[in-house]
Structure 1
Amino acid sequence: MERSLLQRVGTLLYLVHPNTTTFSSVDQVPNYIHEAVPFFVFFFVLELTLHYLWGKPQRLNEATTSLGIGILHEATGFISSWVVLLGYDWLYQYRLWDLPWDSPYTWFGAFILVDFCFYWIHRANHELNILWAVHQIHHSDEDFNFATAVRLSVLQRVAHFGFYHPLALIGFPLPTVSVHIAFNYLFQFWVHTKYIGSLGPIGWVFMTPSFHRVHHGANKWCLDKNYGSVFVIWDRIFGTFEPEKDNEEIVYGLTKQPQTHNALWHEVYYFVEVYRKARSMTTWGDSLKALFYGPGWAPGLPRLGDPSTFIDVKAPRIKYNPRISQGMLLYIASHMTLTFLAQQLMVAKYMGSLGIMLSMLIFIFVSVGVLTAMFDGWVWAPLAEAVRCAAFVACYFSITQITAIPVVDTGLLVYFTTSCLFWTTKGVNDMIFRLSTKKMK
């Protein structure tokens, strides 16, 4: 069924009708998240533009890094989305009740309980160190905007595995749960903004941007608060609610902020920290606790650590913001945009072709990694970028067409060829300079 523009926008706010979002099989469920991507892009660009017009331009390096991380998250979605509900249908065979798939009561029940499950998913992602290794990337953004909303690990969906499965035993059909997981995810987009204040009585029941800003704060009073997605009532019930304070500025990011924009390092760095922590323990029991207790835990402390020992982050905190030229910034942004379009093309055109899909997936990962490493001034970035662009040119001639639009394909070939030549020249010159400098020393 074709949906109107207004209906598509409504999915972002959970403003949908049960009759048009109820399905008898999973195959009938639309890819609501993929359909929402144009709206994500629109609001992302709108926010950047408004900030520029207001004379308060956002940091393009951080926003581009968030976009890159989001690209990786969506590029791997065809695998991770399948993992989330793996085994759900099997467990459904042992359900306690038969809930009609076309009943509005089933729909509204799933609406509430999927959000309840997400509360515990989100809380577990903060309270289990191994899951925090997955989720921390979402909190590593030192800004707070719509780009933050898509800053999600490639393993984030995998970290949700098992939490929704109790709904199968209750009797909720898989299509119904799948629909509400998608809407629950989409609803979270709009709460990632600094420009919507208190919503009054709405905040008695629903999550608002004000409450979610607290959740993203590195200030001690913000830590481990406001886990809800659609409803804030779970936080109020389970003692994790914290309102925004008028007299204290929220500092966004992590308490120990990694000094990098490299998206691939953001994906893995905390796993390295967890491994080191587990290896440093003197007993097997403590090594397991390093994995499954809170990030703030240490031997002799409670499961979640001692809050009095946590870093008390206060504003202002200097943000990681290495200087690069405007030309370099625009180059990275343009190629990240092309990487995003490649990811969209992969989903729209090549999902049935395993070889091409895997090749594009590798190219997307390398692109995001190299481009965001350029923000850090990585010494091997010029040569890595030259190789990346050369790989695209080679693929172009092996596939013969990328978009099937001749003028676009020719433009891409020229742009990547020019980029390859530029970075090859720069990379070789930089290497010669380093070698000559080393000899002089």
Structure 2
Amino acid sequence: MSLITLAIPFFLIAVLSELALDRWKGWGVYRLNDALGNLGTGILSRILGLTYKSLFLVVYIPLYHLLAPYYQLAGFDWSMTNGWHLLIAVIAYDFCYYWKHRVSHELNLFWAGHLVHHQSEDYNLTTALRQSSGGVQLDWVFYLPLLLIGLPAEMVITAGAIDLLYQFWVHTQKIPKIRWMEWFFITPSNHRVHHAQNAVYVDKNYGGILILWDRLFGTYQEELDSEPCIYGVRKPLNTFDPLAANLQHLKRMALDAWYTKSWRDKLTLWFRRTGYRPADAEAAMPVSSTDLTHFQRFDPHIRRGRRNYALIQHLCYSAASLALLWFNTQLGFAQLLAVVTALVFCLVVNGRILDGHPWARVLEPLRLALLAVGLPLLNPKFALFIAAYILISALLWWWLAITDKKDTVALAGN
């Protein structure tokens, strides 16, 4: 089991602690819809990761074995139990991460995957859990230089997990600048800069653990008291659907490639500077950027009952996802794929409920009906439990539909 999976309960405890402080002190850094959107995207990332093999492992391990004679000659003998070896591995990984992260902001195709992490218009610990579901899997290219120093794949994976775990705590607005740390490490202050869409902050502070790389390569920017951070992306997502979040930029690039008449653009726009669009495609399908002078977060108004329903459903999906992450090895691939597909659909529908999308009125009954149809395929030990869940959810949704109609009639009567 991965370090990230083992850390999930601690992540959730930290999120709940920050949320409790937010409500107690009235900070206003949490909104239910945005937080559930972040957590839903994180769940999607973890469960989809169970269905495919990392290209990093497919490529790195054979190359490592191919270079084994060179490693023996050079005297490389890395050990996971040696603290100094692990420290060097983390520093080397973080250097590669800096360049991967930088290119992920600077080239269209790489931004398509990384964009997901930046879509939240709030900034709190749930933002750290908002991760891409894999995209086009090109990130592994940036870690191939680690082969030059003979790092085994397991050490690269461990270093990557440590790098990612460190980054969790910096996703908060409530820790101020830590003066001595700002010179050497990624901190909440300089990572707030990274997530901001203000012109002065865009494409800055790429490090994972160390800010030294940004200072060395000219991408460092201090958080300014005179320029409060505005979070999110310049082309807003405007939905809490985690699948749509992962497809946002890929969809836009695919449409641009379809509509442009230039074959050169069709083939190269994927690897052009982030934000590049062929002139004819942009004229045919203009996409406006956020007006930061009158910035408003995406915050659709839906009735409290539906918000609470979405929260209850999210808690159910979270429990199911944790169980899947812990026990997925006991399932065959077809069973795993079926469970993951069902959970993906559940997360999509919940996102649309939070959007207040009219399709949600049809999608949620459809979701419950499909689960009911699948009951005979389940182990009898779980079928009764799932049947009770479907019945309770259906009754709650029916009650919400009835009360919605009553509200509509009352408004019409006025």
- Length-normalised TM-score, structure 2: 0.86
Aligned ranges for residues 248-287 of structure 1 at < 5 Å?
A: 248-287=227-266
Partner of 1:303: none
CA distance in structure 1 between the partners assigned to 2:33 and 2:318 by the alignment: 16
Q: Which amino acid aligns with 1:272?
A: K
Aligned ranges for residues 190-201 of structure 1 at < 5 Å?
A: 190-201=169-180
Question: 1:347 aligned to 2:318?
Answer: no
CA distance in structure 1 between the partners assigned to 2:361 and 2:400 by the alignment: 7
- Judge conservation of contact 1:69–1:153 (CA < 8 Å) in 2: yes
Q: Deviations over 1:12-68 (max 9, x none)?
A: xxxxxxxxxxxxxxxxxx511110000111111112221111234421001001111
Partner of 2:26: 55
Question: 1:380 aligned to 2:359?
Answer: yes
Q: Return the offset for 1:316.
A: 5.5
List runs of 5+ in structure 1 lacking aligned partners: 1-29, 301-309, 404-408, 432-441
Partner of 1:359: 338
Q: Return the offset for 1:192.
A: 0.6
> Is the partner of 1:162 in helix, strand or coil?
helix
Q: Which amino acid aligns with 1:292?
A: F
List runs of 5+ in structure 2 lacking aligned partners: 280-287, 406-414
> Is the partner of 2:71 in helix, strand or coil?
coil
- Judge conservation of contact 2:190–2:221 (CA < 8 Å) in 1: yes
Of 89, 93, 100, the residue aligned with 2:77 is: 100
CA distance in structure 2 between the partners assigned to 1:171 and 1:49 by the alignment: 46
> Is the partner of 2:298 in helix, strand or coil?
coil
Of 17, 27, 31, the residue aligned with 2:2 is: 31
CA distance in structure 2 between the partners assigned to 1:401 and 1:118 by the alignment: 47
- Judge conservation of contact 1:145–1:193 (CA < 8 Å) in 2: yes
Q: Which amino acid aligns with 1:137?
A: V
CA distance in structure 2 between the partners assigned to 1:93 and 1:392 by the alignment: 46
Q: Return the offset for 1:138.
A: 1.0
- Length-normalised TM-score, structure 1: 0.81
- Judge conservation of contact 2:236–2:290 (CA < 8 Å) in 1: no
Q: Return the offset for 1:79.
A: 4.2
Of 308, 315, 322, the residue aligned with 1:337 is: 315
> Is the partner of 2:168 in helix, strand or coil?
coil
- Judge conservation of contact 1:149–1:188 (CA < 8 Å) in 2: yes
Of 297, 301, 312, the residue aligned with 1:319 is: 297
Q: Deviations over 1:308-330 (max 9, x none)?
A: xx968536511111111222111
Q: Which amino acid aligns with 1:72?
A: L
Q: Which amino acid aligns with 2:292?
A: K
Q: Which amino acid aligns with 2:313?
A: H
Identify the range of structure 1 (210-219 vs 174-183) with the bigger mean alpha-carbon deviation: 174-183
Q: Deviations over 1:246-304 (max 9, x none)?
A: 1111100011212222222112122121123334444333333311112233579xxxx
- Judge conservation of contact 1:62–1:141 (CA < 8 Å) in 2: yes
CA distance in structure 2 between the partners assigned to 1:141 and 1:80 by the alignment: 26
> Is the partner of 2:54 in helix, strand or coil?
helix
Of 295, 298, 307, the residue aligned with 2:274 is: 295
- Judge conservation of contact 1:80–1:157 (CA < 8 Å) in 2: no
Q: Which amino acid aligns with 2:326?
A: A
Identify the range of structure 1 (411-420 vs 380-389) with the bigger mean alpha-carbon deviation: 411-420
Which is richer in helix? 2
> Is the partner of 2:143 in helix, strand or coil?
coil
CA distance in structure 1 between the partners assigned to 2:362 and 2:273 by the alignment: 41
Partner of 2:47: 75
Partner of 2:184: 205
Q: Which amino acid aligns with 1:76?
A: L
Partner of 1:90: 62
- Judge conservation of contact 1:225–1:242 (CA < 8 Å) in 2: yes
- Judge conservation of contact 1:81–1:157 (CA < 8 Å) in 2: no
- Judge conservation of contact 1:342–1:360 (CA < 8 Å) in 2: no
Q: Return the offset for 1:81.
A: 6.1
Partner of 1:328: 306
- Judge conservation of contact 2:173–2:188 (CA < 8 Å) in 1: yes
Q: Which amino acid aligns with 2:301?
A: R
Q: Which amino acid aligns with 2:40?
A: G
CA distance in structure 1 between the partners assigned to 2:272 and 2:315 by the alignment: 39
Q: Which amino acid aligns with 2:266?
A: S
CA distance in structure 1 between the partners assigned to 2:395 and 2:217 by the alignment: 59
Give the share of equivalent positions with the same residue, in percent: 32
Q: Return the offset for 1:97.
A: 3.0
- Judge conservation of contact 1:207–1:231 (CA < 8 Å) in 2: yes
Q: Return the offset for 1:124.
A: 1.4
Q: Return the offset for 1:378.
A: 1.9
Aligned ranges for residues 92-241 of structure 1 at < 5 Å?
A: 92-95=64-67, 96-98=70-72, 99-102=76-79, 103-155=82-134, 158-241=137-220
- Judge conservation of contact 1:390–1:420 (CA < 8 Å) in 2: no
CA distance in structure 2 between the partners assigned to 1:415 and 1:378 by the alignment: 24
- Judge conservation of contact 2:193–2:229 (CA < 8 Å) in 1: yes
> Is the partner of 1:158 in helix, strand or coil?
coil
CA distance in structure 2 between the partners assigned to 1:81 and 1:43 by the alignment: 30
- Judge conservation of contact 2:116–2:246 (CA < 8 Å) in 1: yes
> Is the partner of 2:50 in helix, strand or coil?
helix
CA distance in structure 1 between the partners assigned to 2:133 and 2:309 by the alignment: 25
Identify the range of structure 1 (313-322 vs 264-273) with the bigger mean alpha-carbon deviation: 313-322
CA distance in structure 2 between the partners assigned to 1:214 and 1:368 by the alignment: 30
Identify the range of structure 1 (283-292 vs 59-68) with the bigger mean alpha-carbon deviation: 283-292
CA distance in structure 2 between the partners assigned to 1:142 and 1:429 by the alignment: 31
Aligned ranges for residues 395-406 of structure 1 at < 5 Å?
A: 395-401=374-380
Partner of 1:417: 391
Q: Return the offset for 1:422.
A: 4.9
Q: Return the offset for 1:149.
A: 0.7
Identify the range of structure 1 (52-61 vs 311-320) with the bigger mean alpha-carbon deviation: 311-320
Q: Deviations over 1:192-247 (max 9, x none)?
A: 11111111111211111111100000111111111100011111111111110011
